[in-house]
Structure 1
Amino acid sequence: MKWIKIMFCILLCCISASAMAQSITVNDTYTAQNLVDLLTKNSSCASTSSASVSGDTFTGTQNSYGYFNSGTSTFPFTEGVLLSTWSSSNSVGPFLRNQGGGNSSWKGDLDLDQALGIKSINASVLEFDFVPLTNFISFNYIFASNEYQDDFPCRFSDGFAFLIKENSSAAIYKNIAVLPNTITPVSSENVHPIISFTNSSGSTSGCSALNEQYFGQSNTSTTSSSPINYSGQTIALNAQTEVIAGNSYHIKLVIADDEFVYYDSAVFLQAGSFVSKVDLGADRLLATNNGICFGQTYLIDTKLPPSYSYKWFKNNILLTTETDPSYTVTDAGTYKVEITLNPSTCIATNQITIEYTPEILLNNQTMIQCDADGDGISVFDLTKMDTAIKGNDPSLSAVVYYKTLSDAKAAINPITNPKNYNNTSANQIVYARVSNNYGCSNYAQLNLQISNNTIPTQNPITTCDGDTTQDGLYRFDLNSQVSMQVLQGLPQGLTVEYYLNLTDAVMQNNSLPNIFNNTVPNQQIIYARIINGADCYDITPITLVVNTFNPRDFQEENTFLCNGTAISLTVATGYSSYLWNTGATTNIITVSSAGDYSVKVSNGNGCEATKTFHINPSGIATITGAEIIDFSGNQNSILIEYTGVGNYEFSLDTSYFQNDPKFEGIAPGTYLAYVRDKNGCGLSVPYPVYVLDYPRFFTPNGDGFNDTWRIKNLDLLPKSTVTIYNRYGKLLKQLNSSAIYWNGFFNGHILPADDYWFSLNFEDGKIIKGHFSLKR
């Protein structure tokens, strides 16, 4: 059994050795000066003094500060200074979940409290004085903490700061342990990934990521290879600040728990990273929109004493004549300076890359405007030259105009009304300022000149009012009717625009369309602006005249022509010309056929008017028959049937004519139908019409009234017969053209009052049946 225990111990030692081999090592016996020398690597570029260190006050044998070495682990720094809020040896990995160390008797730091606004406890402090020989210091560090557990980063953070101040009575500390380009202190609350935590009861809590790009990694209790015993850490960060070469400074590097001793933190300072550097500023690159504008110079200034020795390089080539503390750059390149810091033998070096923006290419321009009143002052729309000045480069900014070049360069007092700017003198020069996407500017001149061209007085442009309303308003084709006259004798390439008034013509506002209807009746003045490219050649008034021609009695006429006759069509004499659609050229023609006839006449101004005659055919109608409804009492009617092309009226007695060929409520009898042409062409040949009917009763009482029953006009139908029956169908009487009535007797006997029936048989086979009453 003993050998088994020996093997177990050997295995445990191997595992421990393997784990240690993957973790950092810590030595907490270093003095304050040892730690400062380690941090500065005894650099001669910054002299240090008055080093002191303080920390753990309760263990007696362990320090909360010390030296660390990465060994074979993956920790980013090979070696350096460690400051923590518990025994520094506890920082050795791997990470083991714990609540930490510390003691309430181990106090915090008042300067840290003031810098971060916390109430600290268990503070570790390394501080010293130094005198930089350059104008810039920096060092590298990593912050690690056991507060990168659960949801603690959402609520808690230990505090640390790198406090620096000049050694003078009025100086105050400045914290340079901040996120890049901010004043935000580095802490687990300010730098962490997304936090989502579920506790043992199943409740969840968390918060969004904050400055996650500066978070390095999380370590868990299962991550046996974590080099340090902290649950999370930042990436390697850099603390930096400007200083004044030769002045004395005090720096205080401090870390502490915030209020409670639990869950410790540490800061790892990279050995040799505390250096006095040369600050040449950030690279001036196009990619970061920080390039130098084309044509400008850039001063690289070390801001160090001229007593130092300087070597300047451009693209690694020594500039043999440059030995000053500063160098003026005129073109792109990577510039490096190498400085020997006297009286020490320290050499400081740094470089900066300079890129130049592309040149902004602008074009000087001249703009010529017309002068309405000849005083040498006019209105210019400067914006019309924007595209020409910029060379049609859409990447450039809008053009801004100034009265002087100095104003343009200072970007002050711009011309506020560039679309209607009044020049202040003949041939005035204004200045255009244009910028690119990098904020660089260039300038161009715009020469404002007044045109001295003149155009001869123009003849009026006349036209006739060619529509039906002779109101003196009509359309003009300005290009074809006016421009040819205006441009006659002028140089080639000119164009013309038209405006209602002189002001619009000068300003080029509200140009008229080519097809223009005058707005002032009969005569109106408009203005022609003659253009030479973007310039005004001259402006001249144009008189537009609209001649009206409205002859009397020229409205359309409608008339009728009777078949077989002729008619004369005439208009007044005295016009300059006549032209009928028949080809005749007189004021009168005779026509013998219906149709549309028109005559066009003209006056002395060449204006024309047209009169149209609509000749409609007419004639005597021919009656072709009649549709008769009879044996219907007061419903008897006659519908005259006819042919003809006229406009007709109708009559049954030549005394009364009606428009409707149908006559209703006609009494039985003989009629002559007539059709008359309303247009005066005449009366038709009469047409006889017969309407038959029978009495509805008769009274054969011998009083001489209504003593017989007969069908009126039956004698006109000699081949028709009427048969009379009693209610039982017994034949009582037969009537015809020779026996035309019945007296109410049968075989010499008087028949009683009663209803009797009849049947009327026409020659064409038509049969009409009815009944009537015999009353006594």
Structure 2
Amino acid sequence: MLRTLLHKTLLTAIAILLGGWAVVAQQNVVKGTALSFKVDDNPTVDYRWVIYSVEAGTTVNLSSNTHISDEYTFNVEGNFEVRVYPVDKTSRCLGEPLTLPISVAGDPPTIVFDDLSTPYVCSANNGLNSRAEIACTVNYTGPLPWTFKYSVDREPAVLPPGADEIWSSSFDFVVTIRNESGLKSRSEIMIVEARSLSGLEVVENIDDHSVEIDVLGLPDTKFTDYEPTAMAGTLQSFKANILRHDPDITPSSPANRKRYEIIVPDGATVLNENTRLLADELHSELSFDIQWGNELGAKQIKLIEKNAFNCYGDTIYADVNLIESFMVDLGDDKEVCKGNEITLSPSINMEGDFKYSWSTGEKTESIQVSAAGTYTVTVTETNLNKTSMASVQVNLLDLPVVDLGDDYELAEGEVKTLDAGAEGAYLWSTGDETKTIEVDKSGLYFVTVTGLNGCEASDEINITSVNDVFAIDLGDDIQACVNEEVILNPNPSIQQNYKFKWDTGEETQTIRVTESKTYTVVVTDDAGNVKRDEIAVVFNALPIVDLGPDRNIYEGESLVLDAGNAGANASYSWSTGESSQTIEISEAGDYSVTVTNGNGCSNEDEITIIKNAGQKFTVDLGDEIEICEGDRAYLEPTIDRDIDATYKWIPGEATDKGIYVDKKGKYCVEVSDAFGNKETACVDVIINKSPIVDLGDDISLEAGETAVLDAGNADSFFQWSTGDITQTIEVGTAGDYSVAVTNPKNCIGRDEVKVSFPRGETFVGFPSGFTPNGDGNNDVLYVRGNNIKTVTFIIYNRGGRKIFQSNRLDVGWDGTFKGQLQRMDTYVYYLNVGFDDGTSVQKRGEVTLVN
């Protein structure tokens, strides 16, 4: 009873003292760790502390008799128990002990990044393989439990799921490698913050703690040709650029041989798939047709492609709107002034081969009309034999009625009022802009009236005077502008017959002049009276006004319009009411400016500003492009919205959407939209050297001999005709061997070598001795030969005991029996080989093992 009571005085766990603080019981430590222990203090008992070695069966008594033990250093590996016995202070009876197991490891913890089964992963994309994942394993030696974190490309450390407390020496986890660029890259996975939960840090070793992973690039699939609108039930063609595709792979080939997949909506069928190798020999053009069903609305074709490493590229989309029939539109009703013409031209919401039939009987796409009425056009799509119609009403607008009356003769001192009549805007030959003017001298007067509906009409009247005496007057010298029409008229004061003679040689009453000079005229009447007059005409230059092409502006954007510097005393009149040389605008509309220079000559220009709500486009040629010697890169800009683009490449001045380049340098493209907006993007093209691969001359081997083929070019990716992916391979059979070497720049070099045996195609043998000392040279005894179908290879020791047997050419004797290396001696072999041609051979002999 006393032992039981004394045991109940203890806690149910022993605490370890580290640095004066009590921590949770810990069962695993490393050799050389010093610990002390404690239990709850009970004043009625003393304590006896013992360290028990499980393997040795020995105990060490600690001197402390309190509830806190002495410090004890665990200098030996193994399993121990810390035992504490309660001792009654009165009876000195010993109670049941409380025990804490301790496991002592020999060395500080280490961690090793295990070899990865896959040397590369695919880039992330928007479809399949949306996350690039790779399985990793780390091996740990040290006290359990333990924990660690990992970092990808020096990003913040991540704790793998389940790694907060690991109770095994090997831990598997999955790492996600992100590579949004889609280009080939290399990522580093590094183990960080590795330690045992007892606080022991893992020994630092960068080589053991990190591994580099090749992240493979993705195909750059692009749709190149299709119409965004089609009619239901029709056949529509599509084209796309994909990686080089074997033309022998047809739509009926197994899915695992095709590198692309076309995904269509319900009711649609893919027909007529075909691939054609492009000129760059790196890409193929994929063409196919879609047979649409009868369901209308928005549809989407999806195309996804994978490369030779089964990395899936981004899914690309072709959006098509299926309509029942195409739509024809002639716009709103039209108005035209009587006597004028207007052009009617239909707009159609899809591409096609159309024929036109107008209600007027005309068959052209557009017609000119001048009469009021309803005009109808019937449009037929010839391939589909479908029609659509549209109509528009054309209304005629009346001209203003302008009548200045009959010609009139003024009485002496009379002033006559001329009245333009109709309401509207007026422009008289005198320069007046009023409805009426007063005249008191002879002359030809005319007026143009623009009615309230915008239509124009004119009239003229000849005014003479009873007091007119034959006289002429060319008027004052004229300062004109180069764009003005200057007509010189001597203006005879009496209406009668005259003869006119100008110094220009002309004999008409009026002449038109465009040259700065002094002009002279001589006028003679029927009575022989002669009058002479002259006038100086100076044509001044117009100010240069250029607001540039029509522009687009966007939300939050403003533009400065500059009318240009027209010199001293120039004046500016904008449609906005402003009078400065420049104005700043931020709204859509038509803007015009009239500039008048110091000579009074005016010029004007206008510009249309279209406001795009947040639709400004950007152009991107991507990051620096690396290609291999002899390859070409296809450059095509990415535009972030759909525009009617034109292209100008520098250098070269090409105007294609995309170009192929094979030389190093900077290439730029200037993209313009229909409104003249321009954006430029540039990209550097770098030419990388391809690896030089030399497997040497053809090789001749004797029976049992092997040859090491070395592709060189360390740090590259290797693909041998044997399926190996190492830099070197060891061969011992005749045949043609080839290797493709892909360097870190993804450039490829190739070579091949022929290995032959001079004794013929059917033989077998192996060396008379081998040295399994681990130096990498002749460590394993293999059977070698040509055209071998079956093999039985047995080794006996001197006592006749069979110590090795193999039925495979790739499994040889490494000199061991039951895991133990055999002594240096001569051993007996038996060999039975069957060849592909049905013949066989048996051999017996001796082979020497040299340590």
**TM class, shorter-chain normalised?**
under 0.3
Q: Higher helix share goes to which structure?
A: 1
Q: TM-score, normalised by structure 1?
A: 0.25
Which structure is larger by alpha-carbon Rg, 1 or 2?
Answer: 1
Q: Higher strand share goes to which structure?
A: 2
Q: Which has the higher contact order (CA 8 A, sep 6+)?
A: 1
Q: TM-score, normalised by structure 2?
A: 0.24
